[in-house]
Amino acid sequence: MKIGILLKEGPYNHQASDTAYKFAEAAIRKGHTIDAVFLYNDGVINATRLGDPPQDDRNVAERWSALAREHGFEVLACIAASKRRGITDELMIEGGSITGLGTLTDIAIRNDRLLTFGD
Amino acid sequence: MEENIKKIMHVMRRAPHGSIYTYEGLEMILIMAAYEQDLSVVFIGDGVYALKKGQDTSGISIKGFAKTFTALDGYDVEKLYVDRRSLEERGLSEDDLLVDVEVLDSAEIGRRMNEQDVVIHH
Amino acid sequence: MLHTINKSPFESPSMQECARFAAPGDPVLFIENGVYAVQSGNRFASEIEALLKTNPVYVLQPDAEARGISSLTGGVEPVGYDGFVDLVEAHRVNSWL
């Protein structure tokens, strides 16, 4: 099964990014393909590498970056949502980039499922 | 080509202005409309407030967007559904809404929801 | 169609709205703060029992455990993230955010 993920909340404020991550991990483990993670609303904040959480906490952005690189999917932040929130190309995690909502539409069209996580 | 057309439903369930979800949801709908998919938008719960007449956001410095819903027709987004019970619970009727919509009961909205390939809540 | 609910019923009408629009037979999965809905003996137990008459109801076990919920309303089935994936494989998804 090919799965797209739409993530609509930023890290830490809400559990959405954690749930999406745990789901993606499990789906990959079970032999499914994560095609892309599209970030919308405050979800775009998941893609900045400037986050520096305390040592004993998870690093949400770094974790997405590692999973994306290991399994060959992209973390895509919506350009309009990013511009509003000061998220730019220079801030992107490895494996992350900024793109338009048209890409989300393509993700919705080409995958067996589009799962939304958010508040 | 036909089999590549997906049924995508956007579900508006939040009041406007208090958070950005409705507005950014509308932006998403406008872009998706260019992709010739089978789009629909349904207003449930506080989502019906997005369509209420007489909104004036000039005093809160937030861009008003209620009128953009009236323009969806021009983007070929013609399937706009409103949950009858959500309207009634809020003391509203179809006359209070800015936009021509189909007011439907829950069972009918549920049936149309169940036909979708993709459902996105805003 | 799989329905997921991530809000506590004490703070949000998500559960009632979902129950109103879900088709009979559709699985309903409680995740994140949604798991508070299925703690046994709470004031939503009768609504969960009514839902169970027409729909299978699941709870994401790691979320329930994280919140100290060990006693579930009878008939609610706990699943892990693997079970969540299996439900997604079998159904299209409707996340009631």
CATH number at residue B16: 3.40.1260.10
CA angle A113, A115, A119 (to 5 degrees): 170
pLDDT in tens, A19-62: 999 999 999 999 999 999 999 999 999 999 999 999 999 999 99
Task: Check if C84 contacts A (Cβ < 8 Å).
Answer: yes
How buried is A108 (Cβ within 10 angstroms: 0-12 exposed, 13-18 middle, 19+ buried)?
A: buried
Cβ–Cβ below 8 Å for A119 and C93? no
What are the residues of chain B with a beta carbon less than 8 Å away from any beta carbon of chain A? 4, 6, 8, 20-21, 24, 27-28, 31-32, 34-35, 37, 117-121
Which residues, listed in sequence order, are joined to residue A3 by a DSSP beta bridge?
A: A34, A113
The residue extents of the domains of chain C are 2-96
CA angle B52, B55, B60 (to 5 degrees): 140
Q: What is the CATH number of domain C2-96?
A: 3.40.1260.10
Total structural domains in chain A?
Answer: 1
- Which residue, A38, A24, A22, is CA-closest to A102? A38
pLDDT at A95 over 80: yes
- The mean of the pLDDT values for chain A is 98
pTM for the complete prediction? Answer: 0.97
Q: Which position has the token pair 């290991």?
A: A70
CATH number at residue A42: 3.40.1260.10
Q: What is the ipTM of this complex?
A: 0.97
Q: Which pLDDT value is given to residue C65?
A: 98
- 8 A C-beta contact, residue A46 and residue A11: yes
Q: pLDDT class for C11, splitting at 50, 70, 90?
A: very high
| Structural domain boundaries, residue A14 | 2-117
| Structural domain boundaries, residue B16 | 2-121
Q: pLDDT class for B4, splitting at 50, 70, 90?
A: confident
Total structural domains in chain B?
Answer: 1
- 8 A C-beta contact, residue B45 and residue B86: yes
pLDDT at B29 over 80: yes
pLDDT in tens, B33-92: 999 999 999 999 999 999 999 999 999 999 999 999 999 999 999 999 999 999 999 999
Cβ–Cβ below 8 Å for B113 and C26? no
**A43: its two tokens:** 């979800």
**Which residues of A does the annotation mark as catalytic?**
78
